[in-house]
Amino acid sequence: LRIEPGDEPWVRVDRERLLAVLEHLIQNAQEATHPTGRVEVSVRVEENMAVVAVRDDGCGMDEQFIRERLFRPFTTTKGNAGMGIGVYESHEFARGAGGKLTVASTQGKGTTFFLRLPRLDNPDVAKAG
């Protein structure tokens, strides 16, 4: 886990849903990566957004799959091993919180998911919530 120096990335979201989203993204990254591969989670602030990046050096996804199927329910690259709702639910969580979930991926090189959530201006409010 890497948190880049600078402003603290306070957000107001449902803690349990956020943890479920992060768990899903990290688990997907681990499953796409070889045992000797790497999964990196970083947190930073970009303007008014807190950004969590989950990066792996695994198998990656092709552009057509990302464009046409990735953020739709019941779509999976795992065959019978996955239900295909995790990325969809993660996408909907981000959207419902006023943010977005995006992805950058190259087949054979890896994938990075970017979870962007609106940042609170007043961290004291976030601590109280």
Report all structural domains of the chain as residue ranges with CATH numbers, in order of start: 2-120+124-128 (3.30.565.10)
Give percent of the chain above pLDDT 90: 60
Give per-residue pLDDT as tens, 89-99. 999 999 999 99
Instruction: Fill in the amino acid letter for 71.
Output: F
Q: For residue 114, list its beta bridge partners.
A: 53, 102
pLDDT at position 98 is: 96
Beta strands in 75-125 (DSSP E): 100-106, 110-118
Alpha-carbon span 87 to 113, nearest angstrom = 10
Mean pLDDT of the chain: 85
Average pLDDT rounded to a whole number, residues 58-74: 85
Q: How many residues does the chain have?
A: 129
98 C-beta neighbours (distance < 10 Å), count: 13
More confident residue, 75 or 50: 50
pLDDT at position 49 is: 94
Q: Tell me: pLDDT of 3 over 80.
A: no
